[in-house]
Amino acid sequence: MDSEAGRRPWLARRVLLGVTGGVAAYKSVQVARDLTLLGAEVDVVLSAAARRFVTPLSFEAVTGRRALTELFSAEGAARHLRLGSDADAVCVAPATADFLGRMAAGRADDLLTTSLLAVRAPILLFPAMNTLMLEHPRVAANLEKLRGTSGVEICGPGVGRLAAGEVEGAGRMLEPDEITALVGRALGSARLGALASRKVLVTAGPTREPVDTVRYLGNRSSGRMGYALAESAWLRGADVVLVTGPSELSVPDGIAVRRCETAREMRDRVVEIAPDRDLCIFAAAVADLRPRQTAERKLKRRDLPEEVFLELAPNPDVALAAVQAMENEGFSVGFALESENMLENARAKLVGGRFDMVVANPAGDPDAGFGATTNRVTVLRPGREPEKLPLMEKTRVADAILDRIETALERR
């Protein structure tokens, strides 16, 4: 994968960021910054009320582009047409009750609402207002009308502390990282790559095999690699289900998450989900063994003999069970974490068509694998030479893997 594209996946993509007059407007500066760092060209349009909360200069400092405020200017009467028609995605954050009403009515009385009438790209609206305003029948009717408008998506609002001082309530705008992820998904869908609208299953994290009611056998997997793959696939427009063992990580709300503890639970989840999936990626670090018996209470030290022997039984092969359950011509990707003979053992997983691709990485590398934020992998395909990728952040490794999956799907 091109290194610049890896660092800035939305290079040369145009985003129109509309900012209207609410307290949450300060969060939009972070959104503009994050989108710019990811390569997008961000055109910011502020309403008159928005300028009471944030200044154009703040956005210009983080985007390197002039923030726009006026419908009529010396730049020409067609500026609103260019802003709307050139956008690959549109984000209005915050979207106030007043703005939602004007957009629902088709008004074109400022630069933002006028520009939106020329948009043919996805439009994402992020409402932000007091709970009482959100629950007003007219606001609810406007939101319902906009939800039924082609190309418009209402994102949120969330529940949390509001500006007026309430402890908690509905109407809080989503956080900048959530907004950035949703805009990224819109950009990915607009790109219409091979994963757009595909059904994808990703497994992630460790499994825990109970010894008693407190202790378990497990491993140090954080789940970062699988979570990064799930989010990257979702950003490319895929319909993603993530089956995960215990993990403290999170993913955007648009990803369906199925949680489990043991290998047998994970097997049951994936066998249920796999039949209608177009792509299955098995990144979970599933325990190969489990205690044959589990104590029904916590084992106390004083009750244990001098030597304790734990009888182990093999766990089911989760990936194999899922591949066998796939009913269509799906594409399957396995992972191989190896402490020795890495390529030889990874190639063995390709034999017999069990997987269409295997991603191998070395165990024991302090910069890669369990617990690390970076990874160093080798990608194997049948009939091809192994492709060794450099050490990268796991988010970039996920993008590199999915780039190669998309290429393979396009050639099928």
Nearest alpha carbon to residue 406 among 398, 156, 210, 222? 398
Three-state secondary structure call for residue 180: helix
The Cα-based distances of 182 to 134, 185, 239, 348 in angstroms read 22, 5, 13, 39
Helix axes 176-191 and 25-37, enclosed angle (nearest 10): 50
Specify the DSSP element, H or E, that contains 139.
helix 137-147
Query: What's the rounded Cα separation, in Å, for the pair 135 and 130?
Result: 9
Do strands 123-127 and 89-95 pair parallel, antiparallel, or not at all (unpaired)? parallel
Residue 303 carries which DSSP code?
Answer: G
Query: Residue 375 class from Cβ within 10 Å (0-12 exposed, 13-18 middle, 19+ buried)?
Result: buried
Query: What's the rounded Cα separation, in Å, for the pair 91 and 125?
Result: 6
Instruction: Give CA torsion, residues 155, 159, 164, 165, to 10 deg.
Output: -160
- The residues with which 206 forms a beta bridge, in sequence order, are 285
What positions carry a catalytic annotation?
Answer: 219
Nearest alpha carbon to residue 237 among 186, 177, 178, 277? 186
